[in-house]
Structure 1
Amino acid sequence: MRGTLTLTWILMVCLSQVAVQSQYYSESLPYDPRPVKVTNLYFFLHETLRGKNPTVVMVAQANNTSNDNYSSVPFGTLYAIDDPLKIGPGDNSEVIGNALGLGILSGKNSTTVVMYLDFGFTAGKFKGSSISIFSRNPLIKMERELSVVGGRGEFRMAEGYARLKNYFFDGTTVIIEYNVTVIHY
């Protein structure tokens, strides 16, 4: 009996130590009363699909064994992207940054790409800042809208949307007009 009580007492002491050591840690940060900012950005994304210096390259393609998929851009194809951002649609327009990311053709019966892009600005007022877009992009639509889901630098904690409009396409070069509304702190 005495051994049982001693064992019970030892277990209770050990269990009380486990409970103390397993408490989670939380820290409240002071409220920052800075007002929310809304910034409108307007630029052009220049994409080169073929040639000596493409800005989009296929990284992986699904292993499709069926003979019914003859598309040149089949479902499951993954692309790496490094496109320049320019202030205008012209080839000689000033470069203000680049869009780095991934796109995967994810619509079985359409040309829809799910894209993650980080738009890093290397010149101008927002040099060193970026916005992140993660959204569905139906490529065949002339105009479409994508989600801004984050940012860094001047665009810390960003959210918003980007309106895209196809400006030019010739089979090798794609130019897309971006009109972006960013809500940030």
Structure 2
Amino acid sequence: MLTNLFLVLVLATATFLAKASDLKETKLSMYLQDISDVGNPNVTVIPVAGIAGKAWTVTQFGTIFVTDDYITETADPKSPGVGRAQGMYVTAGLDGLNSHVMISIVFRNKEYNGSTIQIQGISQQFVPGTEVAVVAGTGKFRFARGYATFETYFLDIPTQYSVIRFNVTVQHH
């Protein structure tokens, strides 16, 4: 009986390892066009909730933002579009230094149209680069797992416009 159980475990492990080796790895580099000036008709990030009586800012604990950033192939906002980064983030650190990010990358380009990558994790807001987890995906990225890095490429404080370099490494089926 114990021998049979051992054989079943060995077979299950071999099957799992064979399937795991079928994974593809994809590396992507894209740019988020982020406009947070609520007076701009093309705004892509807005605060939607926060602590009553406090300013809803990126450094105020409890502030919730919704985003729908345009994603491009290069840093130039006129370069070909890749898709949208849609989701939300919450200033989750009491000191205002960390945000909890929940974003879906919705691809609209020819190669990955209709596929998504789901991002989640803590983003350190004032460091040159930060890393979050890829927790899922759909379409060509079904069962995706991996990581993504965000790096501020360009920042114009007066217009509240920034370009964020976004690199993703995922394993998927």
- TM tier, smaller: 0.7 to 0.9
Indicate whether 1:41 and 2:28 are aligned.
Answer: yes
Cα distance per residue 1:70-103 (max 9 Å; x no partner): 7843110001110011000012111110010011
Larger radius of gyration: 1
- 1:110 equivalent among 93, 96, 121: 96
Equivalent residues, number = 152
1:91-106 superposed matches below 5 A:
91-106=77-92
For residues 56 and 120 of structure 2, the distance between their equivalents in structure 1, rounded to whole angstroms, comes to 25
For residues 115 and 159 of structure 1, the distance between their equivalents in structure 2, rounded to whole angstroms, comes to 16
For residues 43 and 26 of structure 2, the distance between their equivalents in structure 1, rounded to whole angstroms, comes to 31
- RMSD of aligned residue pairs (Cα, Å): 1.9
Indicate whether 1:139 and 2:103 are aligned.
Answer: no
Q: Which runs of 5+ in 1 are unaligned?
A: 1-29
For residues 22 and 57 of structure 2, the distance between their equivalents in structure 1, rounded to whole angstroms, comes to 48
Indicate whether 1:159 and 2:124 are aligned.
Answer: no
1:1-185 superposed matches below 5 A:
33=19, 35-50=22-37, 51-63=40-52, 72-73=57-58, 74-171=60-157, 172-185=160-173
Please report the TM-score for the alignment, with normalisation by the length of structure 2: 0.81
Q: Which runs of 5+ in 2 are unaligned?
A: 1-14
Please report the TM-score for the alignment, with normalisation by the length of structure 1: 0.76
For residues 144 and 43 of structure 1, the distance between their equivalents in structure 2, rounded to whole angstroms, comes to 15
Specify the alignment match of 1:27 in structure 2: none
Q: Which amino acid aligns with 1:91?
A: P
Q: Could you say if the C-alpha distance between residues 72 and 99 of structure 1 is closer, same or farther in structure 2, counting changes exceeding 3 Å?
A: closer
